[in-house]
Amino acid sequence: MKSNKNNSSRRNFIKKAALGTTALSATPTILASTYNQNLTLKRVYNNSLYTYNDHINLALIGSGIQGIYDTQSALEVSGIKLVAVCDLYTGRLDRAKELWGNDIFVTRDYRQILERKDVDAVIIATPDHWHKKITIEALKAGKHVYCEKPMVQKWEDGQAIISAQKSSGKICQIGSQGMSSLGNEKAKQLYADGAIGDIVMLDFYNDRYSAEGAWQYPIPPDANEDTVDFDTFLGTAPKTPFELKRFFRWRNYQDYGTGVAGDLFVHAFSTLNHVINSHGPNRAQATGGLRFWNDGRDVPDVSITLYDYPKTDTHAAFNAAFRINFIAGSGGGGGFKLIGTEGEMEIGQNSVKLKRSKLNLIPQGYSLISFTEETQKKINASYEAQNLNSRASQLSTGETTWQAPNDYKGGHYDHFYNFFQAIRGKGKIIQDPTFGLRAAGAALLANQSYFTKKAAHWDPDNMKTISK
């Protein structure tokens, strides 16, 4: 980060913090030498009432777990109507009618969805290896696209989606659902204000302790070669005999998914790159293994990856640690924390906790013990003369938590609200295909490093791997 910009941000933050209640919504109010307070996050929505002819007609391609959650969130936004659903398992088409009515059109062929004139936008929530093909075809068919993360299974596929979106003129939002959340919005503002100084490290972890959390999803008793179109599911993946585990637990296989990196790292990269306005890391070193869930999967259930972020105009050089454990005997949990030279931010979709600390530059008893009493007095006097612990630094320390209100609909709703507002020409999307490729590419770098057992290098500006 450029020093003049960084110093200006710090001064700006401390100045606003000292303004008292007039700056309450933006930064902590300083009432004493330290502070501890709770504030409320807010956002104003444009929830207009739309006539039948003004509805955005939506279709879902891939009505699995995430597809259903996506659609439920999308339908909470005013002026949205679901008209069609596609899935390769007939039981999910039956479930779609249970959820959204018998009048919706259902099919096992996504091309029938794209041919429909009454479909304005599609959600693509298929296995990862289908994202590129269906997204490009949907854009060419004149549909707006919400594509689940990771945008691509292979980074090489990203440029084709970027080009298709630009040539189509349609909106394409990548679905890291927490991206548009109140938590991310506040964290981005605080970082720009210099609330944590220079970023030094990101600490991200996700611990799970259940079969469901480790992707051992249930297989329905009616699933068979008649109710599941397995050959279409395989797509461009290697041909293999019919196997229900591969269809219903596809995240466990490299042929169809992207492992913990593509499923979980990509969320963290989306938030991180958004908050600090970065293009991403340039190096990854991964380790891990298959420690417990020996169910036929060929991806690790424990993964640790260290990333290097280069210095740019918006941030200092820093390191990021990503950790996933699918057999966490602690019981589970997660965290996302930005740590800087002057503080830290713990970021969630519904909250941000900012803790600002004072760097102690004066030696304590530990380092003075080897000197004589007379020498210790001289050392202490020399430090006191430097006035290293200024009143300004003491006044800007403490902890503030911003929390969304109880009626907040959540980041998932916000991401679809952002998508549909952009379709209506009332704003820009927050996660376009270029952003999506940078987030996916950084995540997939972990897989490259893990399977090759060496560091992997990435060009975050040009969005491609580098051979070294």
* Residue 244 lies inside a defined structural domain of this protein: no
Q: 193 and 76 share a domain?
A: no
Q: Which residues, 6+ apart, have CB-to-CB distance to 123 below 8 Å?
A: 58, 59, 60, 61, 62, 67, 70, 71, 74, 146, 148, 175
CATH code for position 382: 3.30.360.10
* pLDDT number for residue 12: 60
Pairing of strands 351-356, 397-403: antiparallel
Sequential pLDDT tens for the chain (468 residues): 344 555 665 556 655 554 333 343 444 443 345 678 999 999 989 878 888 889 999 999 999 999 999 999 999 999 999 999 999 999 999 999 999 999 999 999 999 999 999 999 999 999 999 999 999 999 999 999 999 999 999 999 999 999 999 999 999 999 998 999 999 999 999 999 999 999 999 999 999 999 999 999 999 999 999 999 999 999 999 999 999 999 999 999 999 999 999 999 999 999 999 999 999 999 999 999 999 999 999 999 999 999 999 999 999 999 999 999 999 999 999 999 999 999 999 999 999 999 998 778 888 788 999 999 999 999 989 988 887 765 555 556 889 999 999 999 999 999 999 999 999 999 999 999 999 999 999 999 999 999 999 999 999 999 999 997
* pLDDT number for residue 31: 37
What range does the domain containing 306 cover? Answer: 3-44+186-218+255-410+433-466
Pairing of strands 56-61, 318-325: unpaired
Q: 101 and 35 share a domain?
A: no
Which of 175, 209, 236 represents a domain boundary (last residue)?
175
Which of 146, 175, 204 represents a domain boundary (last residue)?
175
Q: 307 and 446 share a domain?
A: yes
CA distance 134 to 328: 36
Q: 162 and 210 share a domain?
A: no
* Residue 457 lies inside a defined structural domain of this protein: yes
* pLDDT number for residue 2: 44
Q: 152 and 289 share a domain?
A: no
Q: 341 and 460 share a domain?
A: yes
* pLDDT number for residue 385: 84
* Residue 224 lies inside a defined structural domain of this protein: no
Which of 143, 175, 207 represents a domain boundary (last residue)?
175
Q: 198 and 104 share a domain?
A: no
Pairing of strands 318-325, 199-207: parallel
Q: 169 and 277 share a domain?
A: no
| Residue closest to 146 by CA, chosen among 70, 259, 88, 84 | 70
| Residue closest to 173 by CA, chosen among 107, 124, 116 | 124
Count how many residues are written for the chain: 468
Q: State the pTM of this model.
A: 0.91
* pLDDT number for residue 17: 54
* Residue 309 lies inside a defined structural domain of this protein: yes
Q: 320 and 212 share a domain?
A: yes
* pLDDT number for residue 286: 98
Is residue 368 within 8 A of residue 362, CB to CB? The reply is no
For the chain, how many structural domains are there in total?
Answer: 2
